[in-house]
Amino acid sequence: MFQNNSLLIQLKNKLHKKKPRVEGIVKSTSKGFGFLEVDSKKTYFIPSKNMKKVIHGDKIIALIEKENDKEIVYPEKLIEPFLKRFIGSIYKKNNCIYIQSNYPYVRNTTFYRYKTSVQRSWKNGDWVIAELKKHSLRDNNYFSIKIIKFISEKNNPLLPWYVILTRHNLEKKSPIVNFLSLTSHIIENNNRIDLTYLDFITIDSYNTKDIDDALFVEKTENDKFILTVAIADPTEYILEDTEIDNIAKKRMFTNYLPGLNISMLPKELSENICSLQPFLKRPVLACRIIIDNSGHIIMKKTEFFLAWIKSKSKLSYEKVSDWLEKKGNWRPDNEKIEQQILLLKKIYIIRNFWRKKNALVFKDRLEYRFNISKEWEILNISIEKRRIAHKIIEESMITANICAANFLDKKLGFGLYNTHSGFNIFNAKNVIEFLKQYNIFYKVEEIMTLSGFCKLRRSLDELCNEYVNYRIYRFQSFGEISIFSKPHFSLGLTSYATWTSPIRKYSDMINHRLIKSVINKKNNIMPPDNILLSHIIDRKRKTRMAVREIEEWLYIKFFYKQNLHNTYYQADIIDILKGGIRARLLKNGAFIFIPASYIHNVRNELVFYPELGVIYIKNKIHYKVSDNIIVHSLIINNDTRTIIASLVN
């Protein structure tokens, strides 16, 4: 009798409007319930039945009601869905197809209402791209999706690569283009100097095919060195705004992934026509650099020019390092090659000494390589150490890049420069206060200059405290790319512009074109624009994330087949989080997580300070970033692709 009573309906609506509402972000848990995070300090409980209306990450307005003195969230209105386009896998149950998102915190949400134009008989484990079309809180009280694209079958050995690259909208294969009309012959450029008679050599990894740099050294009578750096010149074949150029501009980089390289250019160009293979005549952009016996570059005499070269020997880092370190039986083919290697080593020694004194030198860090079979099985994970030959080539390339930055700045006033600004004013003040406890005293104004920053870094090198280095790195700004010349504080250089990898980096191709424009005396040379800069930054970020996520997936595969019980590992703490320790195993480079419950068994005695990189137990610092620890009992969490470890106290 009261069902359609207008007064009662008005009263209900009035009471409903009076109930408190909040706006926040949904956070799910593995146990089905969740929380509504209003801000960093306030959260509300969402019971399992109410979580069925929302997805982790959704921004919603919710009704708050009290039940048994507990504030309960009732989702009311969707402001913005978290899940839009996503990657997921298919599984079948009772003749129905379900799609499960690959995003860790959304894996508890499955979708069975879907539409698709993809013509395929779906199999268990198929991976797809899907798009959320209807949301339970907004559309008819249910979720539905549209399957956009098929990615891979479950048993595809390249599954980790395909899924992660698709997630970040990165290419899965090297480009294949019909470019014969552009590369069937090379223009006989009269500006090119014939240097094919000189003993240029290349030093790369044993299996490198895209060889982009060759070196030749001669020593003068007054103890100066003349270093000629010859760089492969793909711009001789690739004109601006052609099909190949636009492909390279979109890709921006050759992606070096674990076990798989995806080139920026078609391989016929990068590994054949442009590659500085031995005994083949190749066009190059070259730089002749005069270095005195103290390692100083005589910049006024530096010269950029176009040339032809023939590499006289393709050498590997491993064999050159062995020979210089007097290991093994390998030796260069002849005395001329021997002489080139020895002269390059001398240049490395004096230039490295100069940089230590006048700029900055990076410390060596361990690198890890996944050794993968032809069937895409992980054979092992090896430690890659930078040896003397690596350092020789690196020093030569840094020298060439310093010269390119100076050339572009003087001749054009613009280019693509790698920059780093050190500290901003706020963080500089924090650095000063932090270092006082280690009896290191500087002024804010001092460390915000290039010379002062270098002086500070040298002080820290003398201190030899990795925890202090960690804290200082946290205060530093990020590296940037600039159209105009700016200092690179982390290198300790007034200017730095890379041009030595144009086969692998489009930004280096751009600097090639700018340098060649000056050599060829072109007019109205235009600088790169900010749209290009943004694209470079975006692609670099996506590539870095893809490499990390593929590595995480491969580490899970690697450990999944091993007996992890009673195995102990050394690890370095690399970060302190709100609920645990992030560390890296020294043996194979795997990243692990140690939750609070595996650190100390009394939770209220344990306090984490992520911003300081330390953990207190009973009011004393017990662990900090850079500490070497022992862990065991690795547990694989396939849902989050996390390796959980227990700390050995």
CATH 3.40.50.300 fits 85-155, yes or no: no
Percent of the chain scoring above 90 in pLDDT: 79
Span of 63-72, 237-246, 281-290, 335-344 with lowest mean pLDDT: 63-72
Average pLDDT over residues 361-385: 91
pLDDT for 513-549, tens place per residue?
A: 999 999 999 999 999 999 999 999 999 999 999 999 9
The Cα 622–Cα 605 span in angstroms is: 12
Mean pLDDT of the chain: 92
Instruction: Give the pLDDT confidence score for residue 18 in this predicted structure.
Output: 64
Span of 15-24, 184-193, 519-528, 534-543 with lowest mean pLDDT: 184-193
pLDDT for 315-337, tens place per residue?
A: 999 999 999 999 999 999 999 99
- Judge whether 503 and 234 are in contact, CB under 8 Å: yes
Does pLDDT of 483 surpass 60?
A: yes
Instruction: Give the pLDDT confidence score for residue 187 in this predicted structure.
Output: 53
- Confidence category of residue 363, pLDDT binned at 50, 70, 90: confident
Q: One of 192, 288, 457, 504 is an active-site residue; which one?
A: 504
Does pLDDT of 184 surpass 50?
A: no
| Comparison of pLDDT for 598 and 637, the residue scoring more | 598
Span of 26-40, 46-60, 227-241, 613-627 with lowest mean pLDDT: 26-40
Token match 């593995």: residue? 30
Give strand pairing partners of 574.
none
The answer to whether the Cα torsion of 429, 432, 436, 437 is positive or negative is positive
Any catalytic annotation for residue 223?
no
Q: Give the ranges where 56-197 is alpha helix by DSSP (H).
A: 159-167, 180-183
The Cα 38–Cα 18 span in angstroms is: 19
Q: One of 58, 126, 204, 508 is an active-site residue; which one?
A: 204
Any catalytic annotation for residue 333?
no
Q: One of 126, 210, 245, 627 is an active-site residue; which one?
A: 210
Average pLDDT over residues 4-24: 67
Domain boundaries defined on the chain: 19-80, 85-155, 180-419+493-548, 562-647
Instruction: Give the pLDDT confidence score for residue 301 in this predicted structure.
Output: 96
Q: Do 562-647 and 85-155 fall under one CATH topology? A: yes
Any catalytic annotation for residue 212?
yes
Average pLDDT over residues 492-497: 98
Instruction: Give first-to-last CA distance, the chain, whole Å.
Output: 71
Any catalytic annotation for residue 210?
yes
pLDDT for 124-166, tens place per residue?
A: 999 999 999 999 998 878 899 999 999 999 999 999 999 999 9
Contacts of 256 (CB under 8 A, 6+ apart): 547
SS3 570: strand
- Show the CA angle centred on residue 268, arms to residues 263 and 270, nearest 5°: 45
Q: One of 212, 233, 245, 627 is an active-site residue; which one?
A: 212
Instruction: Give the pLDDT confidence score for residue 185 in this predicted structure.
Output: 44
Does pLDDT of 5 surpass 80?
A: no
How is domain 562-647 classified at the architecture level of CATH? Answer: Beta Barrel (2.40)
Q: Give the ranges where 20-167 is alpha helix by DSSP (H).
A: 48-51, 159-167
The Cα 198–Cα 351 span in angstroms is: 23
- Judge whether 499 and 400 are in contact, CB under 8 Å: yes
Q: What type of residue is 525?
A: I
- Show the tokens assigned to 493: 């250089």
Q: What type of residue is 102?
A: N
The answer to whether the Cα torsion of 568, 569, 570, 576 is positive or negative is negative
* Beta-strand pair 614-617/620-624: antiparallel
Any catalytic annotation for residue 213?
yes
- Confidence category of residue 17, pLDDT binned at 50, 70, 90: low
Span of 144-158, 451-465, 629-643 with lowest mean pLDDT: 629-643
Instruction: Could you please state the CATH topology (level 3) that the domain comprising 19-80 is classified under.
Output: OB fold (Dihydrolipoamide Acetyltransferase, E2P) (2.40.50)
Instruction: Give the pLDDT confidence score for residue 93 in this predicted structure.
Output: 84
Q: One of 44, 237, 317, 348 is an active-site residue; which one?
A: 317
Does pLDDT of 402 surpass 80?
A: yes
Does pLDDT of 477 surpass 70?
A: yes
Global pTM value: 0.90
Cα–chain center distance at 236: 30
Average pLDDT over residues 54-82: 90
Instruction: Give the pLDDT confidence score for residue 372 in this predicted structure.
Output: 94
Instruction: Give the pLDDT confidence score for residue 68 in this predicted structure.
Output: 80
pLDDT for 554-595, tens place per residue?
A: 999 998 877 766 789 999 999 999 899 999 999 999 999 999
Q: One of 114, 126, 167, 213 is an active-site residue; which one?
A: 213
Instruction: Give the pLDDT confidence score for residue 3 in this predicted structure.
Output: 56
